[in-house]
């Protein structure tokens, strides 16, 4: 019998404050059966059935849309699922699954409130307190909370949740998320307090000012909005909403400044969190100000370019929360003789911040902590690559006999090393730790092989992902960027979604990508994008197509494609308007970014992407049943392809000889038939002329190994991957890398540091190569030729056993459960074991191994493909 487990609504386990009118359900199958033949979903609210799907003939167990009575706001819906397997046996889910709606169409009763400052930049973190009393028994309480800024909410002195940097960074011109928390157990009879810290964050800190001549692009000061809904045993209810009964607690401030790029200044003399328990008002408290009158006027006046005199829409939190994920201890602490400062090494470049413990402290002690990814030759901290980001914590100690634990609040750093000055006495290892912070996503992928350096590379890729998954997919976590660069995102999303379960994370980002897209304009080059003038760049803006495509392949998500179909289509028109009628476009602002003296023309890049993306979207249109669109896009794509061939080929030769020119041509299938082999040769010759080293940049590098595989040169791909000299993936490892670097030579033993203007030591883009580990070394690949295959309902297994490896193993936890592909080279044979989860089928491609596949129990299909039903298999491949 099959049973449904791991029940999710809109990719989340039991979400609160969910405002999707038609949420999608998913679950995993476990048990003896092979396939779900029918499912039945029953949804109840207040013990009444609001939707009973009846038994539906369908093998899918995800992306099932709710189709019952309209959902009501603030209501809890329980759901369960029954699955009937191929033998007619029915299993019912036993785990508790529910979703609770939030506001849906309902308006907030709360007000946006603000603190002391009308204009606010690098000012103290605001504090709010609302005192209230409860004299009846509480049965349920929910806190709905958001900010234009970043907030932390507390009830009776305790943090309401482990979430950090809420409400996250969205396109604040259009949308801001709210969070919903079950706070029933945090309240008590009698006196209670709801308190908040409110920082500037991504809303009005340095980030949205840096490219705006220092002026804020979203708004000049942060604001908070909250509703606490209380339900009593006697059936009555009450709401506490942000208004002028909330007080701001002014001077003295403990957090003097907390800014994402700049760091934090903290004065311990002003007490930690005790203010939020005070029953009596402080003399320096004032009622919070409402967002009205002059505040409102000044707010919109401060950024006239950006507002239509409207605050953003408050939307539910479709993203994933940012949390503390782990802590690392120092591997060494050294005191520098010259300066008396400590250098703390955590042995791993990471994203987060420090947490320290002071056993006792004295007023007058100032501890300054600077963060760096590397050390200079003389052992001092290297910070030049941070550019304008100061990335410094300053802690003013107070007199205290008790131990104090401190961690900054609204800032984060990219670092491996700390430089600590002013530490009182000797700094010991148990007094300082690194707190690793990122979006909290379950790990879904693992790869290991017999080459230890490739394993280290895989670890570096994972750390690159951890370091750049802080609410948005960022380019780097340390310097004054930390932006959701679209190019970096599109090259890495496929690898990222093997490593972690990330549909929420990318759904949120894709919403922001599209909310920035104005009719007649392109997609900006990073998201969220705070500014008005939108520059769009080929290979970057195309994230708008590539990211939803990965969501379709990995999770079967069609909703994003449906929702944004028209905007996506509009982007083609925007490009074509600039093409001067010949379908050759030129919007590749960044070219093949950071290529190694092997440039590709902007026209070639842009036109290749246009041809590729129109073809991809034609395919999407077909899958969505949009026949006319599919035809129109197919024709457009073919015409662009023809124009490309006319412009960039001469006598069946690609005019441009760069590696990336050949890679893009092959990747988007743009070569005339008669020229195909020449393009392959051009790539191989270029590689050979460099001793089989890559020279590609951000756009070419992620394609290199997979294209080599596609053209039958997997051995060469293995050779390039395993090169340990410059340039290549393993070279930074020989130089001590613990994350992916922006450049292959960001630092070398021979020449020291690379160009300081662009020298991040935590830049995941080149980590895209990890997809080749899953998809080629172990051969696990999603299929999307038909809608039925998507979301790993049916997938391909086509490993390519590299002669230089003894073994390799990959696990990918798909929505249907773990897919494992693992091979080991023995004396006379290769043993390949794989596992196909219940509810799915694998198509297996292993040329020349028909007998071995048959013996292993696979069923022969057409074109050398074999079918594997759910189960475990072992194939013995003679060598």
Segment contacting ligand BGC by CB under 6 A, of 135-143, 479-487, 665-673, 793-801: 479-487
CB of 756 to ligand BGC, least distance (A): 13
481 binds ligand BGC (CB under 6 A): yes
The CB-of-664 to ligand BGC minimum distance in angstroms stands at 17
Q: Shortest approach of ligand BGC to residue 760 CB, angstroms?
A: 6
| Near ligand BGC in 265-294, by CB under 6 A | none
- In whole angstroms, give the CA distance from residue 385 to residue 377: 15
Smallest separation, CB 590 to ligand BGC (Å) = 4
Identify which of residues 295 and 744 has a Cβ nearer to ligand BGC in the complex. Answer: 744
Minimum gap (Å) between residue 485 Cβ and ligand BGC: 4
Per rule CB under 6 A, is residue 590 in the interface with ligand BGC?
Answer: yes
Residue 210 binds to ligand BGC (criterion: CB under 6 A): no
Residue 562's H or E segment, with its range, is helix 559-577
Q: Which residues pair with 355 in a beta bridge?
A: 433
Picking from 339, 152, 106, the residue whose alpha carbon sits closest to that of residue 254 is: 152
Q: ∠ CA 544-547-550 to the nearest 5 degrees? A: 145
User: Which residues on neighbouring strands pair with residue 140, listed in sequence order?
Assistant: 231
Residue 238 contacts residue 109 (beta carbons within 8 Å): no
Nearer to ligand BGC, 476 or 846 (CB): 476
Nearer Cβ to ligand BGC (330/487): 487
Cα of 794 vs its chain's centroid, Å: 25
Cα–Cα distances in angstroms (integers) from residue 762 to residues 19, 370, 438, 475, in the given order: 36, 17, 14, 8
- Residue 605 CB, nearest distance to ligand BGC (Å)? 12
Window 95 to 154, contacts with ligand BGC (CB under 6 A): none
Report the DSSP pairing between strands 175-182 and 190-199: unpaired
Stretch that binds ligand BGC, among 484-492, 646-654, 729-737, 771-779 (CB under 6 A): 484-492
> For residue 300, how many other CB atoms are within 10 A of its CB?
17
Cβ-Cβ contacts under 8 Å for 651 (sequence gap 6 or more): none
Q: Which residues contact 189 (CB under 8 A, 6 or more apart)?
A: 134, 135, 136, 137
Q: Is the omega angle on the peptide bond into residue 521 within 30 degrees of 0, that is, cis? A: no
Of 354, 488, 542, 549, the one binding ligand BGC (CB under 6 A) is 488
- In degrees and rounded to multiples of 5, residue 385 shows phi and psi of -75, -5
- Please identify, using beta-carbon distances, which residue of 409 and 743 lies nearer to ligand BGC: 743
- Which of these segments, 124-132, 362-370, 481-489, 559-567, binds ligand BGC (CB under 6 A)? 481-489
Query: Binding to ligand BGC by residue 10, rule CB under 6 A?
Result: no
764 touches ligand BGC by CB under 6 A: no
| In the complex, least distance from residue 594 CB atom to ligand BGC, rounded to whole angstroms | 8
Distance in Å, CB of 613 to ligand BGC, minimum? 18
Contact code string over 654-683 relative to ligand BGC, x by CB under 6 A: ------------------------------
Identity of the residue, 196 or 742, whose beta carbon is nearer to ligand BGC in the bound complex:
742
Question: Toward ligand BGC, which CB reaches closer, 484 or 802?
Answer: 484
Binding map of ligand BGC across residues 459-478, x = CB under 6 A, - = no contact: ----------------xx--
487: contact with ligand BGC by CB under 6 A: yes
Q: In this structure, what token pair is assigned to residue 46?
A: 């207040």
User: How far is the C-alpha of 422 from the C-alpha of 365, rounded, in Å?
Assistant: 7
Q: What is the DSSP string of 6-55?
A: EEEETTBSS-SSB--SS-EEEEEEEES-S-EEEEEEEEEETTEEEEE---
Please state, in angstroms and rounded to a whole number, the distance separating the CA atoms of residues 14 and 793. 24
Residue 63 or 759 having the CB closest to ligand BGC: 759
> DSSP label at 443?
B
Strands of the sheet containing 126-134, edge to edge, are 158-159, 150-155, 190-199, 126-134, 247-249, 285-287
352-391 residues in contact with ligand BGC (CB under 6 A) are none
Q: Does 485 bind ligand BGC (CB under 6 A)?
A: yes
Q: Which of 429, 384, 390 is nearest to 408 (CA)?
A: 390
Residue 113 CB, nearest distance to ligand BGC (Å)? Answer: 36
Per-residue binding string, ligand BGC, 539-578, x by CB under 6 A, is ----------------------------------------
By CB under 6 A, tell whether 496 contacts ligand BGC. Answer: no
Judged by CB under 6 A, the stretch of 456-464, 485-493, 664-672, 868-876 that binds ligand BGC is 485-493
CA distances from 577 to 572, 580, 648 (A): 9, 7, 21
Q: Does 261 bind ligand BGC (CB under 6 A)?
A: no
Nearer to ligand BGC, 587 or 714 (CB): 587
**Coil, strand or helix: which one is 508?**
helix
> Which range, of 48-56, 483-491, 546-554, 771-779, touches ligand BGC by CB under 6 A?
483-491
Binding span for ligand BGC by CB under 6 A among 104-112, 153-161, 482-490, 855-863: 482-490
CB 407 within 8 A of CB 435: yes
- Phi-psi group of 871: left, alpha or beta (phi > 0 → left; psi -120 to 50 → alpha; rest → beta): left
Question: Among residues 167 and 487, whose Cβ is nearest to ligand BGC?
Answer: 487
Among candidates 247, 246, 241, 244, which has minimal Cα distance to 286? 247
- CB-based burial label for 500 (10 Å; 0-12, 13-18, 19+): buried
Query: Which of 98, 593, 774, 792 lies at the binding interface for ligand BGC (CB under 6 A)?
Result: 593
Provide CB contacts within 8 A for 372, sequence distance 6+.
381, 382, 383, 386, 415, 416, 417, 418, 419
Pick between residue 394 and residue 699 the one whose CB is nearest to ligand BGC: 699
- For residues 164 and 661, what is the distance between their CA atoms, to the nearest angstrom? 43
Minimum distance from CB of 653 to ligand BGC (Å)? 30
Structure-block tokens of residue 338: 């010259």
Q: How many residues belong to the site for ligand BGC (CB under 6 A)?
A: 8
The residues annotated as belonging to the active site are 481, 742
What are the E-state strand segments in 119-221?
126-134, 138-148, 150-155, 158-159, 175-182, 190-199
Is 369 or 613 the residue whose CB approaches ligand BGC more closely?
613
Cβ proximity to ligand BGC, 36 vs 478, nearer residue: 478
Beta pairing class for 817-825 and 829-836: antiparallel
CB of 484 to ligand BGC, least distance (A): 10
Smallest separation, CB 755 to ligand BGC (Å):
12
The footprint of ligand BGC (CB under 6 A) covers 475-476, 481, 485, 487-488, 590, 593
């Amino acid at each position: 019998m099959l049973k449904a487990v791991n029940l999710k609504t809109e990719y989340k386990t039991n979400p609160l404050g969910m405002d999707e009118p038609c949420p999608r359900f998913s679950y995993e199958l476990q048990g003896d059966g092979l396939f779900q033949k029918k499912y039945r979903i029953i949804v109840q609210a207040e013990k009444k059935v609001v939707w009973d799907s009846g038994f539906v003939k369908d093998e899918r167990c995800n992306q099932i849309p709710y189709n019952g009575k309209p959902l009501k706001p603030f209501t809890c819906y329980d759901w369960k699922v029954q699955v009937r397997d191929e033998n007619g046996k029915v299993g019912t889910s036993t785990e508790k699954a529910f979703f609770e709606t939030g506001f849906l169409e309902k308006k907030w009763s709360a007000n946006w409130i603000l603190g002391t400052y009308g204009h606010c930049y690098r000012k103290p973190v605001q504090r709010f307190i609302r005192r209230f009393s409860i004299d009846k028994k509480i049965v349920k309480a929910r806190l709905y909370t958001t900010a234009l800024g970043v907030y932390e909410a507390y009830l009776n002195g305790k943090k309401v949740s482990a979430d950090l940097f809420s409400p996250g960074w969205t396109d604040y011109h259009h949308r801001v998320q709210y969070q919903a928390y079950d706070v029933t157990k945090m309240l008590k009879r009698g006196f209670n307090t709801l308190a908040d810290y409110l920082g500037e964050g991504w809303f009005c800190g340095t980030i949205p000012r840096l490219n705006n001549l220092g002026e804020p692009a979203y708004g000049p000061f942060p604001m908070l909005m909250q509703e606490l809904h209380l339900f009593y045993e006697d059936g009555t209810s009450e709401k506490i909403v942000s208004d002028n009964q909330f007080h701001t607690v002014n001077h003295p401030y403990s957090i003097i400044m907390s800014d994402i790029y700049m760091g934090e200044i903290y004065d311990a003399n002003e007490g930690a969190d005790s203010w939020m328990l005070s029953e009596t008002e402080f003399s320096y408290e004032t009622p919070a100000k409402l967002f009205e009158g002059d505040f409102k006027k000044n707010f919109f006046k401060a950024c006239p370019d950006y507002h239509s005199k409207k605050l953003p829409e408050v939307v539910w939190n479709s993203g994933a929360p940012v949390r503390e994920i782990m802590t690392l201890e120092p591997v060494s602490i050294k005191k520098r003789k010259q300066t008396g400062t400590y250098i703390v090494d955590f042995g791993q470049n990471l994203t987060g911040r420090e947490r320290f413990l002071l056993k006792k402290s004295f007023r007058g002690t100032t501890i300054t902590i600077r963060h760096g990814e590397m050390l200079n030759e003389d052992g001092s901290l290297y910070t030049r690559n941070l550019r304008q980001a100061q990335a410094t914590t300053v802690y003013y100690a107070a007199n205290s006999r008790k131990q104090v634990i401190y961690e900054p609040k609204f800032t984060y750093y990219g670092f491996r090393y700390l430089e600590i000055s002013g530490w009182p006495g000797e700094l010991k290892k148990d007094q300082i730790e690194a707190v690793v912070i990122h979006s909290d996503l379950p790990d879904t992928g693992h790869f290991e092989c017999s080459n230890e350096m490739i394993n280290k590379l895989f670890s570096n890729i994972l750390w690159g992902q951890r370091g750049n998954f802080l609410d948005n997919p960022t380019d780097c976590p340390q310097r004054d960027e930390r932006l959701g660069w679209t190019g970096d995102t599109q090259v890495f999303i496929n690898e990222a979604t093997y490593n972690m379960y990330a549909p929420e994370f990318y759904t949120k980002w894709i919403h922001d990508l599209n909310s920035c897209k104005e009719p007649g304009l392109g997609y900006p080059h990073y998201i969220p994008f705070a500014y008005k003038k939108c520059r769009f760049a080929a290979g970057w803006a195309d994230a708008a197509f590539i990211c939803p495509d990965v969501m379709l392949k990995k999770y079967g998500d069609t909703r994003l494609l449906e929702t944004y179909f028209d905007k996506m289509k509009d982007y083609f028109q925007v490009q074509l308007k600039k093409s001067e009628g010949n379908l050759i476009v030129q919007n590749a602002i960044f070219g093949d970014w950071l290529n190694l003296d092997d440039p590709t023309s902007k026209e070639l890049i842009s036109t290749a992407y246009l041809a590729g993306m129109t073809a991809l979207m034609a395919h999407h249109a077909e899958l969505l049943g949009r026949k006319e669109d599919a035809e129109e896009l197919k024709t457009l794509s073919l015409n662009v392809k023809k124009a490309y061939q006319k412009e960039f080929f001469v006598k069946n030769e690609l005019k441009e000889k760069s590696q990336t020119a050949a890679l893009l041509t092959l990747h988007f299938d743009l070569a005339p038939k008669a020229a195909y082999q020449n393009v392959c040769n051009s790539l191989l010759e270029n590689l050979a002329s460099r001793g089989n080293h890559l020279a590609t940049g951000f756009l070419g590098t992620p394609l290199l190994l997979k294209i080599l595989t596609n053209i039958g040169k997997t051995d060469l791909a293995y050779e390039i991957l395993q090169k340990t000299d410059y340039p290549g993936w393993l070279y930074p490892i020989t130089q001590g890398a613990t994350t992916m670097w922006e450049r292959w030579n960001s630092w070398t033993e021979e020449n020291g540091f690379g160009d300081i203007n662009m020298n991040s030591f935590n830049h995941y883009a080149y980590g895209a190569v990890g997809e080749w580990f899953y998809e080629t070394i172990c051969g696990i690949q999603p299929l999307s030729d038909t809608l039925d295959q998507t979301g790993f309902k049916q997938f391909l297994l086509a490993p390519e056993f590299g002669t230089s490896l003894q073994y390799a193993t990959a696990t990918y936890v798909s929505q249907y459960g773990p897919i494992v592909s693992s091979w080991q080279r023995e004396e006379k044979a290769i043993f390949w074991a794989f596992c196909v989860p219940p509810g799915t089928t694998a198509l297996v491609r292993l040329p020349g191994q028909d007998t071995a596949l048959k013996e292993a129990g696979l069923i022969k299909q057409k074109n050398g493909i074999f079918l594997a039903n759910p189960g475990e298999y072992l194939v013995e491949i003679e060598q």
